[in-house]
Amino acid sequence: MTKGMVCAPQPEAVEAGAMALKRGGNAVDAAITCALVQTVVDPMMCGIAGFGTMQLYLPDQDHHGFIDFHTTAPASATETMWQDQIKSQARDGFGFILHNRANESGYEAVMTPGSLKAYAEAVAEYGTFEWKDIIQPAIEHAEDGFVIRPHVDEFWSAANVMGRMSVVDKLRDCPATKEIYCDENGDTYPVGSRVKNPGMKQTLERIRDGGAEIFYSGDLAEEIASDMADHGGRLSLDDLKNYKTVRAEPIWGEYRGHKVSCGQPPGGGVMILEMLNILEHFDLGAMTHNSADYIATVAEAMKFATIDKDNLMGDPAFDDVPVKTFIDRQQAGRYADMIRSGEKANVIRLGEPEESKDTTHVTVVDDAGNCVSMTHSLGMPSGVVSPGMGFMYNGCMGAFDPRPGMPHSIGPGKRRFTAMCPTIVFKGDDPYVVIGAPGGTFITMGVLQAILNVMDFDMTMLEAVAAPRFTANSNTIDVSNRIPHFVTRELEQRGYPVVRNPFSYVFAGVHGIRMEDGDRGRRWDGGADPGRDGIALEV
């Protein structure tokens, strides 16, 4: 048996990952087992037709790197395809609302998926189990069906969020999707209901027996491409055949004497490092946690990083993304001086709506020192299920800027920025905090605050992920409902617009594991965000 810990938002998936460790698998085996079960029991937060990024620290294999599996725009996508449909931009700067909703729901919203290829490559290169043993727990969960948890129901039942199309409307739009997830009245099933999806089981069995490549170049790929062509989708067989993951070295930073490793663009790792560089100029630990001084200081760092992301971030395969500018310590010092002088950063937005949060995460460590932190997603789910296949496709075209000539404009083969930032903080040469989160553009802000909570306020991992959070992806500071009104009144007196969210746990769903030396050797301290339904399970 391998000892270790698994932390994720879905208890069923965490248990499957933990059982992989108990059967002698390593952290990679456990992480991918967990991820595949997540695709079954939380089918709109992630899926085999989704995307993500994975940090692998594997000292027993002398490997530390990333598998980046962001979606790519189909070859037939063009800069001008939606320029006459623009309604507004999201307030947090991620995605646009179109009059025809084609970037949010339906076949046109689908980009070339990378998740299944990344799962299979990780197992083949770094795991110890056979592929069939990795995927079998997901098949068993698909056969049993999954029970609707409170967070799934909350996600389904949410009304239009600041202009976004509601999830239930997406589920009703596609007949094959509606058949799985809606009753005879077109309503989603309530908490505690068991949802059966035989098409998912059959698809996973085909992938078990034929390998992941049948999804990209085999008979399953041909069926996917045919369904896309029949319904006006842009994803083609050539798009699937040509998809490749991207391998990358970590980008390194430092905070309070600790090394920090994050991922390359188009992920959000450089934002984490930039914000930490700015905030290292302040004695945050001397401030009262979540006081007006603390929130204003951290919020300004968030805003400066957001402005740089909006202006400088693109797909490095297409654009010159100045990573050194993001993590430049002298620039961080200038930003810190501006914050100290009372200057407020100005984040420019077109329109008001907010980005969807359709993502999940898994963190795993094992007793060999191996660490995996993986964030994966459907982006904003398209609502599309091909008849008989069971899985939902990503809706990632909604993340592009439909205006031509912009850093985030649509382009064939292009990847779009996401805030995904699986991160490892090291104490000396050993991993100390392994962390990540789902939550749209709130991901970087949630992960940042959890790191600060551990590093500056000496919180346990559970305390760090459970503490009240705020975010400043725009000029407005959004706060969770557990931040006191006397604090927000002081912020308003300082000239900050403040919006209070009705939820107590909000702004990403941070999941992490902290590793410390104890009397009996190395021990793990896990924290699953209470705003989701997950657990941290040690075996």
Tell me how far apart the alpha carbons of residues 336 and 329 are, in angstroms, rounded to a whole number: 10
Catalytic residue among 71, 177, 359, 423: 359
Cα 279 to the chain's mean position, in Å? Answer: 24
Residues 363/511, Cβ–Cβ less than 8 Å: yes
Instruction: Give Cα 339 to chain centroid, integer Å.
Output: 29
Handedness of CA 78, 314, 55, 354 (dihedral sign): negative
Indicate if 359 belongs to the active site.
yes
Dihedral in degrees, nearest 10, Cα atoms 231, 103, 391, 244? 100
Strands 258-262 and 96-98: unpaired
Lookup: tokens for 416 = 């779009």
Q: How far apart are CA 351 and CA 341, in angstroms?
A: 30
Per the DSSP assignment, residues forming a β-bridge with 319 are none
- Asked if 262 and 104 count as a contact pair (C-beta separation under 8 A), the reply is no
Four-CA torsion 140, 144, 148, 151, nearest 10 degrees: -10
d(CA 479, CA 40): 32
DSSP alpha helices (H): ranges in 341-428? none
Question: What is the distance between the alpha carbons of residues 300 and 338, in angstroms, rounded to a whole number?
Answer: 9
**Helix, coil or strand: residue 303:** helix
CB atoms < 10 A from the CB of 337, how many?
11
User: Do 354 and 40 touch, CB atoms closer than 8 A?
Assistant: no
Task: Name the CA dihedral angle for 208, 214, 219, 221, rounded to a multiple of 10 degrees.
Answer: 120
Rounded Cα distance, 357 and 133, in Å: 31
Positions marked active-site: 359
